[in-house]
């Protein structure tokens, strides 16, 4: 009998952390570096990633679900995630394409659960439903002082010629963002096999190199490959 051709497993990597820590920038850089080694990968984000999930994203970030309460919002994030997993993440992984997501389920646990007060059991149940068994292989948590990260976001608004008005999460009190930072660190501590915390208060290039070092030591197919 002929053996099935050897296919390298596709990896599912998520980036998490507070606002302005550099997630989107590093997701883009990682995609670029993977392509250098002919690794096919898709870049996606949460909330969003599919047309239905993007519609839910717009609804939430415009503040339209806020009056419904944080519990209902956790359900909305999970509904968006379920569509994202079944329509984009699972099919890509099944055909051997890596998936790199800018935020994923840890954001619901950190924002709506640990910071917003939604019960752990509900967060667990929503996660089981939405992930459908697709737990990330690796989660990179970018960690830095939220005051510094906010200055980055403000700079971006100025550079884009926008007033620094922010979306509804960006407009939360700084104390909220300090708690959020601690909550991501607690999630990492509770999931040491999946999560790696990297200090984000360094240059884009230094951060890119630190992330590449984690990826190459974690996945044997990239072992010893230098940063392109
Ligand atoms: N949310 C939730 O509550 N529950 C959930 O389940 C999920 C999400 C999934 C989504 O917002 C919001 O939804 C989010 C949580 C909530 N809260 N907020 N706001 P989003 O996706 O629009 O925003 P974000 O995830 O917070 O991303 P961000 O603000 O765009 O930040 P970032 O992606 O981490 O950073 P960046 O865009 O790469 O960089 C920010 C700026 O800093 C930019 O000008 C860069 O050029 C600059 N930058 C980047 N890296 C560096 C370094 N190393 N040095 C200096 N400057 C840098």
Asked whether 20 and 149 are in contact (CB, 8 A), the reply is yes
Under the banding of pLDDT at 50, 70 and 90, the label for residue 1 is very low
The pLDDT of 110-138, averaged and rounded, is 97
pLDDT 10s digits, 69-94: 999 999 999 999 999 999 999 999 99
Under the banding of pLDDT at 50, 70 and 90, the label for residue 174 is confident
Q: What's the rounded Cα separation, in Å, for the pair 31 and 222?
A: 14
The DSSP code sequence of 4-36 is PPP-PPP-EEEEEESTTSSHHHHHHHHHHHHHH
pLDDT 10s digits, 128-172: 999 999 999 999 999 999 999 988 888 887 777 765 556 656 667
The whole model's pTM is what?
0.95
What is the reported pLDDT for 57? 98
DSSP state of 103: S
Omega before 47 cis (within 30°)?
Answer: yes
pLDDT of 33 > 90? The answer is yes
The CATH number fitting domain 12-222, selected from 3.40.50.300, 3.30.390.10, 3.40.50.10420, 3.30.470.20: 3.40.50.300
Ligand 1: which atom is nearest the Cα of residue 17?
A: 34
Q: What's the rounded Cα separation, in Å, for the pair 206 and 228?
A: 13
pLDDT of 2 > 80? The answer is no
What are residue 99's DSSP bridge partners? Answer: 12, 42
With a Cβ cut-off of 6 Å, ligand 1 is lined by 19-25, 46-47, 77, 103, 107-108, 111-112, 152-153, 155-156, 167, 169-170, 203-204, 207
Asked whether 9 and 21 are in contact (CB, 8 A), the reply is no
DSSP state of 159: H
Q: What's the rounded Cα separation, in Å, for the pair 7 and 102?
A: 26
What is the reported pLDDT for 157? 78
Ligand 1: which atom is nearest the Cα of residue 200?
A: 53
Q: What's the rounded Cα separation, in Å, for the pair 186 and 155?
A: 29
* Residue to mutate (ligand 1; options 153, 158, 165, 199; most atoms within 8 A of CB): 153
Omega before 210 cis (within 30°)?
Answer: no
Boundaries of every domain in the chain: 12-222
Q: Residue 24 C-alpha to ligand 1 middle, in angstroms?
A: 6
Q: What's the rounded Cα separation, in Å, for the pair 2 and 214?
A: 36
Q: What's the rounded Cα separation, in Å, for the pair 206 and 32?
A: 16
pLDDT 10s digits, 186-225: 999 999 999 999 999 999 999 999 999 999 999 999 998 9
pLDDT of 121 > 60? The answer is yes
* Residue to mutate (ligand 1; options 147, 152, 181; most atoms within 8 A of CB): 152
Query: Using CA positions, which residue lies closest to atom 36 of ligand 1?
Result: 22
The pLDDT of 45-56, averaged and rounded, is 98
* Residue to mutate (ligand 1; options 16, 22, 159; most atoms within 8 A of CB): 22
Give the rounded percent of residues in the chain with a pLDDT score beyond 90: 84
Looking at every residue in the chain, the average pLDDT score rounds to 93
What is the reported pLDDT for 201? 96
Query: Using CA positions, which residue lies closest to atom 25 of ligand 1?
Result: 19
Asked whether 188 and 181 are in contact (CB, 8 A), the reply is no
């Amino acid at each position: 009998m002929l053996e099935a051709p050897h296919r390298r497993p596709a990896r599912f990597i998520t980036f998490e952390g507070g606002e302005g820590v550099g997630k989107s920038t590093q997701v883009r850089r990682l995609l670029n570096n993977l392509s250098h080694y002919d690794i096919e990968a898709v870049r996606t984000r949460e909330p969003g990633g599919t047309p239905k999930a993007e519609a839910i994203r717009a609804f939430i970030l415009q503040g339209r679900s806020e009056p419904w309460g944080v519990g209902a919002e956790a359900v909305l994030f999970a509904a968006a995630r379920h569509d994202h997993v079944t329509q984009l993440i699972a099919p890509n992984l099944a055909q051997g394409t890596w998936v790199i997501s800018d935020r994923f389920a840890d954001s619901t646990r950190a924002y709506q659960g640990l910071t917003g007060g939604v019960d752990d059991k509900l967060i667990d149940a929503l996660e089981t439903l939405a992930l459908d068994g697709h737990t990330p292989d690796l989660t990179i948590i970018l960690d830095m002082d939220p005051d510094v990260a906010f200055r980055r976001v403000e700079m971006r608004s100025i550079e884009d010629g926008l007033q620094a008005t922010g979306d509804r999460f960006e407009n939360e009190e700084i104390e909220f963002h300090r708690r959020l930072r601690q909550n991501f660190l607690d999630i990492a501590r509770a999931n040491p096999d999946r999560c790696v915390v990297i200090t984000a208060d360094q240059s884009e290039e230094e951060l890119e190199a630190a992330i590449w070092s984690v990826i190459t030591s974690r996945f044997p197919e990239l072992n010893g490959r230098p940063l392109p």
